[in-house]
Homo-oligomer: A and B are copies of this chain.
Amino acid sequence: MGQRGRKQGANGEERRARLLSIAADEFAANGYFATKVSQIVKKAGVTQPTFYLYFESKEAIFQELITSFRDKLSTLTKNSKLETGLDHHSLPERIAVGLTAILQFFSENQNLTKIGFFMSEESEEIKNQIAELITENLTSEQRDGYFRSDMDMRTVAESLVGIIERLTITYLFQGKKQPNELAKEIINLLLYGLQTK
């Protein structure tokens, strides 16, 4: 036997997944344009035509990564909505749960996050979508009396997105802080502010 001329256990699905993963590495490292199909296939140990066996085009594989990111993030964001009837004491830690999950996802999927959140033309759109979802959650929570009533929750949501994206890069991706730590700090800042007590 010996699998001559073929990578160990490389059936179609695996090959596809492997290409997708390597493509994510490359796109994340070099950006869309500087990433060459030739590099991807080289690292995957296949030839160029094989690439086109699994993906329509370079653009298509990139889109697939983005869509994957967007879908997962959407779900996580929707799931982070607070239930009603919480008492104010438990609020911070309840919020932390959803935020930690999102940061955890970013932490575990750095390449995907870089691509979807920072390098694609759709990044803005994705962030807008997330901000929109967060706005819905916050507004609803504001009505439940969890937050000050004199603030525009869309602005808060956009700010939160900005904070998340920035701290994700500077702390999470650098391994300087853990998702739950970061979540707590963000919440601490956003709930109580900087003012001297």
Determine whether A148 belongs to the interface, using a CB cutoff of 8 Å to chain B.
yes
Interface residue range, chain A: 35 or more
Binds B, one of A9-17, A64-72, A102-110, A161-169: A161-169
In contact, B158 and A166 (Cβ under 8 angstroms): yes
Q: Is A93 part of the contact surface with B, judged by Cβ < 8 Å?
A: no
Tell me the chain A residues, 1-47 only, with Cβ under 8 Å from chain B.
31-34
- Identical copies in the complex: 4
| CB < 8 Å neighbour of A151 from B131, B167, B170, B194 | B194
On whether the beta carbons of A145 and B189 are closer than 8 Å, the reply is no
How many angstroms between the C-alpha atoms of A133 and B174 in the bound complex?
Answer: 20
A90 on interface, CB distance cutoff 8 Å: no
Are A131 and B170 within 8 A (Cβ)? yes
A170–B197 Cα distance when bound, in Å, is 32
Partner of A33, one of B33, B147, B188: B33
Q: Which chain A residues (109-159) contact chain B, with CB distance < 8 Å?
A: 124, 127-128, 131, 145-149, 151-152, 155-156, 158-159
Given the contacts A128-B170, A155-B185, A185-B155, A196 and B162 also touching, CB distance less than 8 Å:
no
Q: Please, which residues of chain B bring their CB within 8 A of the CB of A170?
A: 128, 131, 158
7 A-B residue pairs with Cβ-Cβ distance under 8 Å, sorted by A, are: A124-B169, A127-B166, A131-B170, A148-B192, A155-B167, A158-B163, A162-B166
